[in-house]
């Protein structure tokens, strides 16, 4: 069995404002505060490896914990954010004017991101990435993966058997933790969107 | 239409050892009582419109500290109760693990009919009807607390996420944990599952490890 903590990066100026996608936006001051909180909560866990997406916001969120645990941060390109193509960088205010965006949010399988990544491919990419990590770290190893909201939603739904069209029923807040256990390729969901501090209304 | 918090009862001496099911007189132990008071502390600032509970003592006792702090009544809902495990009720987990049907419970729960009890299929229908009725009594922004049981909460989350019933064992629900459903006319979502007191986070990893290695 492999135990995987899926941690979303902390707050950036894009969160809730615009679709950052693969724009390399850094954490803002709230995000940095959250990264310290993530470190504080996790430093007593027997984490043996830390993986991040190639984007700065996930690395910054992982850094305090990596220092505390004296671990190297390993970049895994397959944990990168979805390629949002022409939508990348647009404000959510602008995006809601595009009917394809609404369709995409209701059922990502029904539409193609203009100039971007196909959602079936995203699911395949992240599922394979997690299976690969689980084969590398066996015997109840605990690892942490710092990634993005869409990516964590895809990972969780892939391993609990959630259809693609229900992807957006899951919430993944900045700096939240979701935990999956993988045993011979099958997943178990320990927590979804554990937020620190509890902050959900 | 409402925002619903699904809260599992606190610890009792049966958890992880014997299948309590609907047995009477299964009460919270000391740890469970502490969990119930902690839950009340965490939740007391939230604007609950109603508190519902399964009729079983352990659920009601978990709801009581919150109801007292908020000066609210607990409405008992028979349909929020634990699965009717029939002949399995009261047996030790060790005994049950030896049965052929144990594998069905783990791998094909949609096929499982507990001898002289309920099937997971029917239990899920009963629970979903119950939550739908509760939500229809309320406004979309109303916050409702429902105190229930592990399998019941998992069956509800599975249904509202549109997950296959056979996958419901993939979701973990701890004692005194909080999960949520927002049931709106055009959108249903599950903002979080199995939220636990963050101070328990480290212990959780060691506990699940023990359980899995058995």
Per residue in B96-112, pLDDT tens? 999 999 999 999 999 99
pLDDT given at position A35 = 97
pLDDT tens series, chain A, 201 aa = 999 999 999 999 999 999 999 999 999 999 999 999 999 988 889 999 999 999 999 999 999 999 999 999 999 999 999 999 999 999 999 999 999 999 999 889 888 999 999 999 999 999 999 999 999 999 999 999 999 999 999 999 999 999 998 999 999 999 999 999 999 889 999 999 998 655 454
Q: Which residues of A touch B214 (CB under 8 A)?
A: none
User: Which site among B140, B155, B157, B192 would you substitute to test the A interface, given the most A Cβ atoms closer than 10 Å to its Cβ?
Assistant: B192
Q: Does A160 touch chain B (CB under 8 A)?
A: yes
State both tokens at B45. 């600032």
Q: A138 to chain B nearest CA, in Å?
A: 13
pLDDT of amino acid B210: 54
**CB-based contact (8 Å) between A161 and chain B?**
yes
Contacts of A19 (CB under 8 A, 6+ apart): A84, A87, A88, A89, A90, A91, A92, A95
- Model confidence at B124, in pLDDT bands (50, 70, 90)? very high
Task: Kindly state the percentage of chain B with pLDDT values over 90.
Answer: 82
The reported pTM is: 0.91
For residue B46, the chain A residue with the least C-alpha distance is A201
Q: Which residues of B touch A189 (CB under 8 A)?
A: 170-172, 193-194
Rounded distance between C-alpha atoms, residue A109 and residue A114, angstroms: 13
Residue of A nearest to B203 (CA): A45
DSSP state of A121: H
Superfamily of domain B2-213: Phosphoglycerate mutase-like (3.40.50.1240)
Does A168 touch chain B if contact means CB atoms closer than 8 Å?
Answer: yes
CATH of region A2-194: 3.40.50.1240
* Per-residue three-class SS string for B59-128: HHHHHHHHHHHHCCCEEECHHHCCCCCHHHCCCEHHHHHCCHHHHHHHHCHHHCECCCCCEHHHHHHHHH
Minimum distance, in Å, between the CA of residue B198 and any CA atom of chain A = 8
Q: Pseudo-torsion of CA A49, A52, A54, A55, nearest 10°?
A: -150
- Nearest CA-CA distance, residue B142 and chain A, Å: 11
User: Do B171 and B6 touch, CB atoms closer than 8 A?
Assistant: no
Which of A41, A65, A142, A189 should we substitute to test contact with B (largest number of B Cβ atoms within 10 Å)? Answer: A189
Residue B74 distance to chain A (closest CA, Å): 22
Best to test chain A binding among B167, B168, B199 (most A CBs inside 10 Å): B167
CB-nearest to B198 from A170, A171, A196 is A196
Does B184 lie at the interface with A, CB-CB under 8 angstroms? no
For residue range B162-179, list pLDDT tens digits in order. 999 999 999 999 999 999
Contacts of A170 in chain B (CB under 8 A): 161, 189-190
Interface contacts A/B by beta carbons within 8 Å: 100
CB-based contact (8 Å) between A166 and chain B? yes
Note whether B205 contacts A142, CB cutoff 8 Å. Answer: yes
């Amino acid at each position: 069995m492999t135990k995987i903590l899926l941690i979303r990066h902390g707050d950036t100026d894009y969160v809730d404002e615009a679709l950052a996608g693969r724009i390399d936006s850094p954490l803002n001051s709230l995000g940095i505060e959250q990264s310290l909180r993530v470190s504080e909560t996790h430093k007593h866990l027997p984490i043996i490896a830390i993986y991040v997406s190639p984007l700065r916001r996930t690395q910054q969120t992982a850094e305090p914990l990596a220092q505390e645990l004296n671990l190297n941060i390993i970049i895994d390109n397959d944990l990168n954010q979805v390629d949002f193509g022409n939508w990348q960088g647009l404000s959510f205010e602008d995006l809601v004017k595009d009917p394809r965006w609404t369709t995409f949010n209701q059922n990502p399988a029904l539409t193609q991101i203009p100039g971007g990544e196909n959602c079936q491919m995203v699911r395949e990419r992240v599922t394979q990435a997690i299976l690969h990590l689980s084969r590398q770290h066996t015997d109840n190893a605990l690892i942490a993966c710092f990634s993005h909201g869409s990516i964590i939603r895809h990972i969780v739904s892939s391993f609990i058997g959630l259809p693609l069209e229900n992807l957006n029923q899951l919430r993944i807040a900045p700096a939240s933790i979701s935990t999956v256990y993988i045993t011979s390729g099958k997943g178990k969901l320990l927590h979804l969107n554990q937020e620190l501090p509890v902050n959900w209304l | 239409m409402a925002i619903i918090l699904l809260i599992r009862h606190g610890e009792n001496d049966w958890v992880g050892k014997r299948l309590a099911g609907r047995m009477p007189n299964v009460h919270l132990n000391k740890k469970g009582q502490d969990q119930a008071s902690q839950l009340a502390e965490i939740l007391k600032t939230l604007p609950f419109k109603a508190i519902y509970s399964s009729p079983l003592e352990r659920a009601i006792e978990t709801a009581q500290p919150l109801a007292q702090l908020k000066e609210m009544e607990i409405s008992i809902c028979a349909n929020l109760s634990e699965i009717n495990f029939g002949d399995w009720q009261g047996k030790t987990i060790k005994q049950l693990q030896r049965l052929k049907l144990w594998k069905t419970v783990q791998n094909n729960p949609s096929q499982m009919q507990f001898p002289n009890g309920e099937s997971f299929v029917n239990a899920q229908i009963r629970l979903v009807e119950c939550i739908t009725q509760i939500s229809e009594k309320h406004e979309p922004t109303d916050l409702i607390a429902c105190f229930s049981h592990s399998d019941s909460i998992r069956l509800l989350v599975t249904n509202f996420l549109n997950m296959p019933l056979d996958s419901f064992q993939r979701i973990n629900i701890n004692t005194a944990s909080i999960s949520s459903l927002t049931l709106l006319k055009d959108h249903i979502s599950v903002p979080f599952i199995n939220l636990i007191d963050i101070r328990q986070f480290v212990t959780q990893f060691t506990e699940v490890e023990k359980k899995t290695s058995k």
